[in-house]
Amino acid sequence: MLRKTTFALTLVILVALAVAVFGAAAQEDKVGLTLINRSDQPVTLTLSSGDVYYYMYVPADTTRYFTVDRMEYTHNTFSCGNTASGTLDVSSQTRLVFTRCELSAPNAGEPSQEKIHVDDSPGGFNWYYHY
């Protein structure tokens, strides 16, 4: 009786371990995208790449966390009454901080934590958000 119980318990542990390992491997293709809206107006961001499409809405003075596929996207951004189109590379954890509407971003932030003011965003190859 003790052998059967031990065997069953071992089998359950092995199945749980296999599910955990394969579940973690499936999540490797996903990455976190944080949108921080510090403005007094909502922000919308659409991402598309092939047949993958995301629509993200962030109300004023709100932070939202999203999980997206790890890839480079074409984006359309609407913030502070302005629109911008370009690319967004989400190959690693990324935070986009949308600044107040009436002021330009005091600094560009840093790669992977970029301050976005739709008509005055950071440029260059070190940045993930481009237009």
Ordered structural domains, the chain, with CATH: 31-130 (2.60.40.10)
Q: Which of 93, 109, 111, 118 is nearest to 41 (CA)?
A: 118
What separation in angstroms does the CA of 114 have from each of 25, 46, 90? 28, 17, 12
Q: Which residues pair with 106 in a beta bridge?
A: none
What is the DSSP-derived secondary structure letter of residue 111? T
Q: Is the pLDDT of residue 48 over 90?
A: yes
- At residue 99, does pLDDT exceed 70? yes
Compute the average pLDDT of residues 2-24: 63
Confidence of residue 126 (pLDDT cuts 50, 70, 90): very low
Q: What is the pTM of this model?
A: 0.69
What confidence category does residue 85 fall into, taking pLDDT thresholds of 50, 70 and 90? confident
**Does residue 123 carry a pLDDT above 60?**
no
